[in-house]
């Protein structure tokens, strides 16, 4: 039994070594990729149910790793945060997305994700101002998506940053709403323009014991706070019908389109909004 335990431990150790090794390699490649700017920004359309047309796109980062192929941002963003690389990487996405969006028809907005670490970094407001200035994109066409974690960490600082951003004319959205720890009433104290209903709630819409009542509550909350509501991860006609019936303002998901490279954006705009 003792020998067996020792064997199991060695196996465990080897496993740990392999994981650490893989992580170190990924860190090295990520550092290199940030230096070389070897990322791409993909765009997913956001569809307005009232206007019945695409009203903007969300910028989603893609890393095409030389050996491993596409690596999900859900995997590499947390590592970039830990390594302090998220600030330069996030600023690169911001500049790229603004430069792409300024060529689209004027009504279309661009939504850019901002990680909690980047949000509270000293350079965020300057980086946003600079991205707008250098590309000529009007502030009203830029939306920044922020998750609940930034609210809980330091509400005073967060409020100040949000107001500076609003001073630039930029809109701010609460992303993945309902998955964090902030309460419904908490949202009221921050000047958000939009609530994004997390895809975990959209997925279980119309299911038995589904999340319809949660989605209804969030849409009602948004309406009473004067905020736009956007549902993400919409994959089926049934989900779309329900969201429309509940008065959701905007939808986003594979039902309309997956995120696409910049070269396919004009085609999507033509397809949904006419030439």
Query: Out of 9, 11, 12, 254, which residue is the one contacting ligand C2E (CB under 6 A)?
Result: 254
Alpha-carbon distance of 22 to 82, in angstroms, equals: 16
Query: Out of 91, 100, 143, 145, which residue is the one contacting Ca ion (CB under 5 A)?
Result: 145
Residue 165 interacts with which of ligand C2E, Ca ion, none, CB < 5 to 8 Å by class? none
Query: Out of 63, 109, 113, 165, which residue is the one contacting Ca ion (CB under 5 A)?
Result: 113
Is there binding between residue 61 and ligand C2E (CB under 6 A)?
yes
**Neighbouring C-beta atoms of residue 40, cutoff 10 Å:** 14
Is there binding between residue 175 and Ca ion (CB under 5 A)?
yes
Alpha-carbon distance of 57 to 203, in angstroms, equals: 21
Query: Out of 148, 253, 265, 269, which residue is the one contacting ligand C2E (CB under 6 A)?
Result: 253
DSSP string computed for 44-111: EEEEETTTTEEEEEEEEEEEEETTTEEE-HHHHHHHHHHTT-HHHHHHHHHHHHHHHHTTS-TT-EEE
Helix axes 86-101, 73-82, angle to 10 degrees: 130
The distance of closest approach from Cβ of residue 196 to Ca ion in the complex, given in angstroms and rounded to an integer, is 5
Query: Out of 56, 73, 178, 222, which residue is the one contacting ligand C2E (CB under 6 A)?
Result: 73
Alpha-carbon distance of 232 to 253, in angstroms, equals: 6
Contact by Cβ (8 Å): 235, 252:
no
> With CB under 6 A as the contact rule, which of the stretches 57-65, 131-139, 148-156, 209-217 interacts with ligand C2E?
57-65
Is there binding between residue 228 and ligand C2E (CB under 6 A)?
no
Alpha-carbon distance of 152 to 212, in angstroms, equals: 26
Alpha-carbon distance of 137 to 171, in angstroms, equals: 13
Nearest CB to ligand C2E, comparing residues 29 and 176 = 176
Site string for ligand C2E, 152-181 (x = CB under 6 A): -----------------------xx-----
Nearest CB to Ca ion, comparing residues 148 and 175 = 175
Is there binding between residue 229 and Ca ion (CB under 5 A)?
no
Sites of contact with Ca ion (CB under 5 A): 113, 145, 175-176
Sites of contact with ligand C2E (CB under 6 A): 44, 59-61, 72-74, 77, 90, 93, 113-115, 175-176, 199, 232-235, 253-254, 259
């Amino acid at each position: 039994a003792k020998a067996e335990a020792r064997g199991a431990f060695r196996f465990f150790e080897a496993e740990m070594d392999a994981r650490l090794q893989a992580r170190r390699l990924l860190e090295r490649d990520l550092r290199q990729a940030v230096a070389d700017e070897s990322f791409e920004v993909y765009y997913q359309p956001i569809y307005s149910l009232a206007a019945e047309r695409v009203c903007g796109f969300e910028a989603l980062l893609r890393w095409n790793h030389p050996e491993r192929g596409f690596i999900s941002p859900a995997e590499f963003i947390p590592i970039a945060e830990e390594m302090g690389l998220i600030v330069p990487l996030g600023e690169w996405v911001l500049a790229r997305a603004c430069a792409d969006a300024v060529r689209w028809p004027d009504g279309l907005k661009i939504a850019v994700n901002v990680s909690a670490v980047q949000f509270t970094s000293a350079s965020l407001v300057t980086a946003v101002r600079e991205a707008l200035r250098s590309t000529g994109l009007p502030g009203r066409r830029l939306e920044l998506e922020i998750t609940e974690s930034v609210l809980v960490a330091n509400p005073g600082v967060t409020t100040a940053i949000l107001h500076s951003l609003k001073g630039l004319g930029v809109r701010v959205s609460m992303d993945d709403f309902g998955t964090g720890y902030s309460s419904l009433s908490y949202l009221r104290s921050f000047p958000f323009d939009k609530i994004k209903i997390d895809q975990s709630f959209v997925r279980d819409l119309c299911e038995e014991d589904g999340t319809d009542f949660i989605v209804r509550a969030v849409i009602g909350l948004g309406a009473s706070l004067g905020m736009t509501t956007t549902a993400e991860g919409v994959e089926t006609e049934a989900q779309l019908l329900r969201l429309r019936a509940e008065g959701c303002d905007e939808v986003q998901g594979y039902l309309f389109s997956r995120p696409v490279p910049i070269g396919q954006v004009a085609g999507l705009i033509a397809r949904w909004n006419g030439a």
